[in-house]
Amino acid sequence: MGVLADLRPPDRPMTVLLEREEPIAVIRLNRPEALNALSNQLMSELVGALENLDDDEAVRCIVLAGDDKAFASGADIGDLSNPTHLELYFGGRIDKWDAIRSVRTPIVAAVSGYCLGGGCELAMACDLIVASETAQFGQPETNLGVLPGAGGTQRLTRAIGKSKAMDVILTGRFLSAREAEAAGLVARVVAAEAWLDEAKRVAQAIAAKSPIGVRLAKESVNQAFETNLRAGLEAERKAFHLALSSEDAQEGMKAFLEKRKPEIKGK
Ligand code: HXC
């Protein structure tokens, strides 16, 4: 089972909660006493939940949320404080982040309150971020004598550019939701009471489309960060042809011409 093993001792509560509202599902991080710090248990349960949902055809889009106060305050500093190099390397930590990156179902991060360190990296590993106006984004690892270790130096820099990323990472300052939106980190900012509903609305809009087109589009956009322009355009063209040959694409275009709603089958 590797990283998917349920590492939770029998007396410990679940650190992620799953709400199914098909065709979407909502995963809630559930360690409010630690501002949803990403403990080893939480990361294992999160990856398990994501992989199960990714295999479930009834779920077309996933919302990943914390609570009003925090999306996640980062890696659990208690877990991080004394590991040996070997534990870090072989402890499955990296595999969990790779597993999140491999999820093909679109994931909307719904962020309210603190979104820091590994929490900000987790939000950035999702496909887009919907934020409450209360959200605060930061990579304060340099305050602890370390640096972002799950993609922060790479994803934040690609999202907001070198100068702002250096400002955030080297000084440890937080970006407000509005600043994060203006810089390109966040897709939408909404009023404090609306963050989760708005994220669900976005997820419903995605889930209403063909999962074939949507998944291939996600894969293709991600190629923009993995490769050069020529190879990215080639990957997009192949994905486009693949989507075009699906029943959903034929139905989508036929329905447009017949001025009716398409019947999406996921085929
Ligand atoms: C463990 C944490 C935690 C964390 C908060 N808590 N963040 N526990 N790991 N990352 C716990 C606190 O110890 C406290 O527990 C409770 O949550 C509430 O936190 P307070 O500090 O009392 O709240 P507040 O004063 O409102 O301050 C909020 C905060 C602060 C600004 C978010 O908690 C903070 O600075 N947290 C650390 C943020 C951080 O440095 N993140 C990066 C981590 S390193 P008690 O028991 O006292 O009530 C990282 C590396 C990623 O993420 C590498 C890849 C995995």
Band (3; pLDDT cuts 50, 70, 90): very low
Query: What value does the mean pLDDT take over residues 100-107?
Result: 97
Domain regions of the chain by residue span: 2-207, 211-257
CATH of region 2-207: 3.90.226.10
Compute CA 249 distance to the chain's CA centroid, rounded to the nearest angstrom.
Answer: 27
- The residue to mutate among 31, 36, 77, having the most atoms of ligand 1 within 8 angstroms of its beta carbon, is 77
Residue 58 CA, ligand 1 centroid: distance in Å:
36
Contacts 24+ apart (CB under 8 A), 240-247: 240/216, 242/212, 242/216, 243/210, 243/212, 243/213, 243/216, 246/210, 246/212, 246/213
Read off the pLDDT of residues 139-184 as tens digits, 9 standing for 90 and up: 999 999 999 999 999 999 999 999 999 999 999 999 999 999 999 9
Classify domain 211-257 at the CATH topology level.
Lyase 2-enoyl-coa Hydratase; Chain  A, domain 2 (1.10.12)
Q: Do domains 2-207 and 211-257 have the same CATH topology?
A: no
**Residues lining ligand 1, Cβ inside 6 A:** 34-35, 37, 73-78, 114, 116-118, 140-141, 143-144, 149-150
Decide if 118 is catalytic: yes
Q: Identify the H or E element spanning 230.
A: helix 229-244
Catalytic (active site) residue 121: yes
Structure tokens at 92: 């499955």
Please indicate whether residue 104 or residue 80 has the higher confidence score (pLDDT). 104
